[in-house]
Amino acid sequence: MAGRLTRRKFLVTAAAIGMAGTVTGCPQLARAVRIWKRAGRGRRVSNAAKSHNANILYATQAAALNNPAHPGDRSKVVPLTISAARHIELFGLTGAIADLRHL
């Protein structure tokens, strides 16, 4: 009975392995890049703003603030974190706006 793996032993072992992974760190997070998008969550926004918010990503916060779907768009600007490789794929070296509908 001593070698039997119980649910409790399994959970303790899995938690220990998970904690060891967080102590050593994740190399992907070290090369993370912050991008921005507009979000209408918790607000009443038009269908045009919903479509715009779902498909447009911005390299900078200023680009997101200066590109609403229309003059009355009340969407807020929120940050996202992506990998550096995905950032280059979306924006290249100088791009500020990525439209996911045209990639």
Can you read off the two tokens belonging to residue 51? 């479509």
- Model's pTM, two decimal places? 0.68
State which H helix or E strand residue 79 sits in.
strand 76-83
pLDDT band at 17 (very low <50, low <70, confident <90, very high): confident
The maximal CA–CA distance of the chain, rounded, in angstroms, is 71
Residue 19 structure tokens: 């904690």
pLDDT of amino acid 10:
84
| Mean local confidence (pLDDT), 23-44 | 78
Domain boundaries, the chain: 28-102
Length of the chain, in residues: 103
